[in-house]
Amino acid sequence: MKIIDISHGIYKIDGKLATENSVKGAKVYGEDLVMVDGKEYRLWNPYRSKLAAAIINGMKNISLLETDNVLYLGAATGTTASHVSDITKGGKVFCVELSERNMRDLLNVCGKRTNMLPILSDARLTERYSKYLPVCDVIYQDISSKDQAEILNKNSKFLKAGGIAYFIIKSQSIDISRNPENIYAEELAKLSKDFEILERIDLEPFDSLHLFTVLRKKDL
């Protein structure tokens, strides 16, 4: 098998995206495990992870380092968050999730990964988990709601100046009757005070009606 290190713990193995498995032998969502040179890797399915889709579609600003602390808003059952934990194995991934049903599955994932910390909370109510968080290097937000930009603005206090926010805009969660491009523009405008836009990435063919954006927190 041919393996290529494309960015700080993110690999391509025979053309397929992968991360080195930090819990050997453990799967999270039925992904394939492969051995290369004595190390185990998890193939990263872009149809199951918007971050994987964005990377495959050419995202340039992959700003996840081994020692980064990540605030993950909308961790769901831990599919993408588990790959983030592989990459940031020397840091922490603070996984905020509102759904109790999702949290049950997320707890199983976090139970095997010491750098993933589950937080059952509404991401709008930052006071509920602020005491548990250090200053973070990265925020990753994938939340279905009408107030997506407002949620990121509220959580931006946890992000260091110059830190990166991966912000996924779900147009159908805001208004199914409107042009998605208009929704994307409005949501990004709401963030312009504290963030600059580095990239916009289309997720087709892996996902539709979502815009993956990379933002940098301004040093105000």
Q: Fill in the DSSP letter of residue 188.
A: H
Give per-residue pLDDT as tens, 113-165: 999 999 999 999 999 999 999 999 999 999 999 999 999 999 999 999 999 99
Is 122 domain-assigned? yes
What is the per-residue pLDDT for 177? 86
Give per-residue pLDDT as tens, 80-103: 999 999 999 999 999 999 999 999
Is 4 domain-assigned? no
Which CATH number is 65's domain given? 3.40.50.150
Residue 53, classed as helix, strand or coil, is helix
Is 30 domain-assigned? no
Alpha-carbon torsion, ordered 76, 63, 196, 140, to 10 deg: 10
Question: Quick check: 172 pLDDT over 90?
Answer: no
Residue 152, classed as helix, strand or coil, is helix
Is 38 domain-assigned? no
Give dist(CA 173, CA 210) in Å, integer. 10
Is 158 domain-assigned? yes
pLDDT confidence bin for 180, thresholds 50/70/90: confident
Q: Evaluate the omega torsion of the peptide bond into residue 205 and state whether it is cis, within 30 degrees of 0.
A: yes
Structural domain boundaries, residue 72: 46-217
pTM of the complete model:
0.95
What value does the mean pLDDT take over residues 170-178? 88
Give per-residue pLDDT as tens, 8-50: 899 999 999 999 999 999 999 999 999 999 999 999 999 999 9
Is 99 domain-assigned? yes
Is 25 domain-assigned? no
Is 141 domain-assigned? yes
Question: Into how many domains does the chain fold?
Answer: 1
Question: What one-letter code names the amino acid at 159?
Answer: L
Question: Quick check: 220 pLDDT over 80?
Answer: no
